[in-house]
Amino acid sequence: MPPQGPEQGAEPLLYAATSPDAGGYYGPRWAMVGPTKPTSLPRSAQDKAVAARLWTEAEHLTDVSLPPQKL
């Protein structure tokens, strides 16, 4: 796998946060590296049980609790 610099690695995040055209999930074109493009959300990121565990752990680590939101 070819390496990419920090600028290219940060590009999907910056695009999603700042582009007026953003409105979905953005990532590297070839999964791990490549130019930013709209892409599908990985199956592992769609697992509601994992999301719930992550949310619980984040609340525990930050000592902040927010009401859950329906997605």
- pLDDT in tens for each of the 71 residues of the chain? 667 888 888 888 888 889 998 888 887 766 777 888 888 888 888 999 999 999 999 999 999 998 766 65
The answer to whether 68 and 55 have CB atoms below 8 angstroms apart is yes
The domain total for the chain is 1
70 occurs within a structural domain: no
Number of helical (H) and strand (E) elements in the chain, helices listed first: 2, 2
The answer to whether position 26 is within a domain reads: yes
67 occurs within a structural domain? no
Residue 69 lies in a domain: no
In-domain check, residue 20: yes
Range of the domain at 41: 6-62
Burial of 27 (0-12, 13-18, 19+ CB in 10 A): buried
Residue 18 counted as domain residue = yes
Identify the residue whose tokens are 């990419």: 4
Collapsed DSSP state (helix, strand, coil) of residue 27: strand
C-alpha span between 36 and 7 (Å, rounded) = 11
Is residue 68 domain-resident?
Answer: no
pTM, 2 dp? 0.51
Q: Is residue 71 part of a domain?
A: no
